[in-house]
Structure 1
């Protein structure tokens, strides 16, 4: 497994964990904007944008 593939899997797992734990937090709009920007950048970098959109992360 290449470093790219390992990082991609780590980003995917982080997004899954973040989404599963979402209801346990009261995020402000600015915090949500930061997460959306981060997931957009990482999704673009690792080819996960479609997956993130389909799963409601973006």
Structure 2
């Protein structure tokens, strides 16, 4: 996925709120300097765990 001339290939691409997510914009540096990268990664890890549990039938 390409947003603001940046190729996005991480967990954010699976999020339905990617275009409204301020953490996404800050973490990837969309039209700004990158910041809150650690918080973005934590969010991605949480999303990944939820997505994996749904795919495995865990709810």
Q: TM-score range by the shorter chain?
A: 0.3 to 0.5
Structure with greater contact order relative to length (CA < 8 Å, sep ≥ 6): 1
TM-score (norm 1): 0.42
